[in-house]
A and B are shown apart, each in its own frame.
Chain A
Amino acid sequence: MRGFLRRDWFLMLPNLRFCGVFCGLLLLATQFVSLTGPLDFAVLFLVLLGLNGIQSLFLCDGMNGWQAYAAAAPRGRGAMVDARYLFALGETLLLTGGVLLVSVLRWKGLPLWSAGFYGSTLLITLAVTLPIYCRWGGTRGKLVSVILTFTLLGVMGGLSAGVLESAREDLAQGALRGEVRGFFAAAALALPLLGLGCLALSWRLSRRIMQKKEF
């Protein structure tokens, strides 16, 4: 698996460099101006960038006939999936850490729980999309996963929109109301666990897909 992981790392290095610069600028910006609206978008942008990174790996696999080559390597099929999931998990941790850092560093509009919220959203979305990419590859999987991702994000956004709105009003006044605080505390705890559970199920499914897949 080490080899597959290293390959993914080498392929993602340019994207990660871009992400690093982007996060750096974001952090810098939070020190000088209040960026409540743009930061909301920026964090969402990072989530999408994370998804796009994984998708670009599958696209790259497809362009070079990599999966067929990897399937001919010893224990290649399983290791290919393991590495991709480990990479997805690492990417999620990195993003969660990044958002946590932004929220710790003075930005009033981004509470601490949002790191868990965004990280879990990425985790759940990856859990849904990774088996699709494993089954259909980067190009065909892209369309299916875009539809699914936006549906999922829409549902999650819709469910939390009302609560978020009241949270914003409370935050402006300096504190969260009890029931709102309770919702976010529960969500912050449950969502990462749900995300990890989904990813574990998704990993088993992808492994099964890859074992049966013909290239």
Chain B
Amino acid sequence: MEYAMKMEHLTKDFGSFVLKDVSMAIPGGTILGLIGENGAGKSTAIKCLLGILRPDSGSVELLEGEGLTAVGYVPDECPFAGVLKVKQVGAFCAGLFPGWEEDLFAHYLQKFDLSSGKKVKELSRGMKMKLTIAVALSHRPKLLVLDEATSGLDPVVRDEILDEFLSFIQDEDHAILISSHITSDLEKICDYVVYLHKGQVTISGAKDELLDTYGKLNCTRSDLLRVDPKLIVGKREGEYGCQALINDRAVFQRAYPDLPLDTPTLEDLMIFTTRGDRE
């Protein structure tokens, strides 16, 4: 499988918000992280991908024509009613998803320490999310789509879930699309990153390449004034010094060898791009 998902020139106009010309692709055996501020269009892009929303233009191809049958979806909120018991969720999901494996569901329940006799409303947010992930994994999907699935979870649960994703991706036929505000999580596991800002793709590419291309400058105000503004994506000026995100590390280092650059984080990319846009 070359691509688990290919989205091309996707546009969705809500009037007050437009998701504009979004393209991205997830090669098999990789994880793509979708980052962006609140309201940037991450959930809209995911909903268009899954057919929950109808795009105005553009195309989406899932699993080379296999469609939704091999997609596991984990929304930001547990979709199962509180009055249902965990075992009832398993019972009806068996009829929803072709390829459902009862034993696999039981395995994940045990692994995530979920009691089958408990009602969904008795579970904590972390446990509810684990249940949704267990359901998504129990029909052996090839593409796992997670929309803010780790938000609001404590670091221990998040780490546990991220480990599960890493073991899922060991199979080269598998791929993950994950959107999150928590860029540190994505930095741990993602191979590719797409940064959506105001409904448009602002940055996209292989994570390591991006972090190598961009640089974070910590300097004085007078040093910052020397830097060519074309190289600056965004800047933060404080009382004791300045920070700036540089868009081309190689060019910058040739032009200003006396100014050292740090490796930025995904959060830096997000924050400075937003700041640069405002300025």
Contact = CB atoms under 8 A, between A and B. Distances in A.
B73 A72 contact: yes
A72 B49 CA distance: 9
Nearest to A1: B95
Given A72-B52, A74-B97, 19 more contacts: A2-B95, A3-B92, A5-B95, A6-B91, A6-B95, A10-B88, A64-B77, A64-B81, A66-B80, A66-B81, A70-B96, A71-B51, A72-B68, A72-B73, A73-B68, A73-B96, A212-B54, A214-B52, A215-B53
B98 A11 contact: no
B96 A76 contact: yes
A69 B69 contact: no
Interface string A2-30: 11111100110010000000000000000
A74 B69 contact: yes
Determine the interface band of chain B, counting residues with CB < 8 A from chain A. Answer: 20 to 34
Interface hub of B52, B54, B83, B93 (most chain A Cβ within 10 A): B52
A10 B80 CA distance: 12
Interface in B115-164: none
Interface in B70-107: 71, 73, 75, 77-84, 88, 91-98
B53 A69 contact: no
Name the 3 nearest CB pairs between A and B, nearest first: A3-B95, A3-B96, A2-B95
Interface of A: 1-7, 10-11, 14, 60, 63-66, 68-74, 76, 212, 214-215
B51 A72 contact: yes
Given A6-B91, A65-B75, A71 B52 contact: yes
Contacts of B51: 71-72
Contact of B97 (A10, A11, A73, A214): A73
A60 B81 contact: yes
B84 A11 contact: yes
Given A10-B84, A74-B98, A76-B96, A215 B47 contact: yes
B47 A68 contact: yes
Contacts of B88: 10
Interface of B: 47, 50-54, 67-69, 71, 73, 75, 77-84, 88, 91-98
A60 B121 CA distance: 13
Contacts of A10: 84, 88, 91-92
Contacts of B97: 3, 73-74
A4 B68 CA distance: 17
A14 B73 contact: no
Contacts of B82: 64
Given A10-B88, A74-B97, A76-B96, A64 B79 contact: yes
17 contacts: A3-B96, A4-B96, A5-B95, A10-B84, A10-B92, A64-B78, A64-B79, A64-B80, A65-B79, A68-B75, A69-B75, A71-B51, A72-B71, A73-B96, A74-B67, A215-B52, A215-B53
Given A72-B50, A73-B68, A66 B92 contact: no
Nearest to B43: A68
B139 to A, nearest CB: 10
A60 B92 CA distance: 16
Given A7-B92, A214-B54, A215-B53, A74 B68 contact: yes
